[in-house]
Amino acid sequence: MRTVYVNGDYVPEAEARVSVFDRGFLFADGVYEVTSVLGGKLIDFDGHAARLERSLAELDMPMPMDADALLAVHRRLVEENGIDEGLVYLQVTRGAADRDFAYPDPAPAQTVVLFTQEKPGLADSPAAARGIRVVSIPDRRWARRDIKTVQLLYPSMGKMEAKGRGADDAWMVEDGAVTEGTSNNAYIVVGDTIVTRHLGEEILHGITRAAVLRMAREAQMRVEERAFTIEEAQGATEAFVTSASTFVTPVVEIDGAPVGDGTPGPVARRLREIYLDEARAKGR
Ligand code: PDD
């Protein structure tokens, strides 16, 4: 049985308890982070901790502990659960209070939960080797997607629609342009240029995105941060997604149309390799 972390305690998962009055449960009043683990090391931990602090600040919440203490909790769970390849999930909510739309005053103790998920084959993934198929759906999420809140019902519905249409995932479209995948950032390769949507409130500022764009520029690849359409993506030479749980994963089909020759392309393959090499070297 896994050991999970709940509000200062390390307990077997069956003994972990959160209040029914928790505002994460009642209002989705909470934020989360997912940090991947490779070779028992945490990948891009500093970026995830920094984004957590920003998400919390946007919701008028403080960090429940500093980044070093957070790192120690992550490490202890990875070690106690013997995670070699997998994820650490972290969630912080405003805490438990009598149900009221207004934030409780004084603020209750925040709820802090972390657990691990073992994912053998995360790095050596069949989806990355084969490429994934996506379908487009309208982006019907709220407008502050830069805050990593736990209100994930629409992305979850999008994933189900994709499955129902015989695909692996969905790309969301707003005002004619792709915003992002249900749980990843979206990219195309046009000529010799990697194109991905510019940052703003419309998308999550992916930690993997930041690392991959930096590595692409360091490798002298051209990068353009701008919006693109599904039609442009279907005519691109390559497409791919990035996230903490998929790293760089090629997209080989969009709404039934093959991208390029319908197989994973060299840019996505190279970026995945570079990312994984650096991740393994710099994991904490
Ligand atoms: N999802 N966009 C959305 C909507 C996401 O949910 C995610 C991450 C990303 C990629 O961000 P990052 O590179 O920091 O993981 C982009 C995580 C993995 C999840 O919900 O499981």
* Strands 169-174, 132-138: pairing kind: parallel
Mean pLDDT of the chain: 98
Span 54-86, pLDDT tens digits: 999 999 999 999 999 999 999 999 999 999 999
Active site residues: 148
Q: DSSP per residue over the chain, as a string?
A: --EEEETTEEEEGGG----TTBHHHHH--EEEEEEEEETTEESSHHHHHHHHHHHHHHTT---SS-HHHHHHHHHHHHHHTT-SSEEEEEEEE--B-SS-SSPPSSPPPPEEEEEEEE-TTSSS-HHHHH-EEEEEEE--S-S-TTS-BS--HHHHHHHHHHHHTT-SEEEEEETTEEEEETTBEEEEEETTEEEEPPPSTTS---HHHHHHHHHHHHTT-EEEE----HHHHHTSSEEEEEETTTEEEEEEEETTEESTTSS--HHHHHHHHHHHHHHHHH--
Residues 6+ apart with CB under 8 A from 100: none
**Closest ligand 1 atom, residue 51 Cα:** 14
Average pLDDT over residues 97-115: 98
Per-residue model confidence (pLDDT) at position 72: 98
Closest to 113 measured CA to CA, from 71, 57, 73, 54: 73
215-225 mean pLDDT = 97
CA dist., res. 39 & res. 15, Å (int):
28
What's the burial of 69, exposed, middle or buried (CB within 10 Å: 0-12/13-18/19+)? Answer: exposed
Ligand 1 atom at minimal distance to the Cα of residue 44? 14
How crowded is residue 127: how many other Cβ atoms within 10 Å of its Cβ? 13
- Confidence class for position 243, pLDDT limits 50, 70, 90: very high
Within 6 Å (CB) of ligand 1, which residues are found? 34, 180, 183-185, 204, 206-209, 242-245
**209 Cα nearest atom in ligand 1:** 13
Q: Rounded to the nearest whole angstrom, what is the distance from the C-alpha of residue 180 to the centroid of ligand 1?
A: 10
CA–centroid distance, 260 to ligand 1, in Å, is 25
pTM value > 0.75: yes
Spell out the domains of the chain, with CATH numbers in brackets: 3-118 (3.30.470.10), 126-282 (3.20.10.10)
Q: How confident is the model at residue 207 (pLDDT cuts 50, 70, 90)?
A: very high
Q: What is the pLDDT of residue 68?
A: 97
Per-residue pLDDT band at 35 (split at 50, 70, 90):
very high
How many C-beta atoms lie closer than 10 Å to residue 151's C-beta?
15
CA of 280 to the centre of ligand 1 (A): 20
Report the percent of the chain where pLDDT is more than 70.
100
Q: What's residue 222's pLDDT?
A: 98
Instruction: Kindly report the protein residue whose alpha carbon is nearest to atom 4 of ligand 1.
Output: 183
CA angle 38, 43, 45 (to 5 degrees): 145
List CB contacts of 125: < 8 A, sequence separation 6 or more: 246, 249
Q: Is 30 in contact with 64 (CB distance < 8 Å)?
A: no
Q: Which of 197, 204, 276 to mutate to test the pocket of ligand 1 (most atoms within 8 A of CB)?
A: 204
Give the pLDDT mean for 219-239. 98
Tokens representing residue 56 in the block = 């919390």
Neighbours of 185 (CB within 10 A): 24
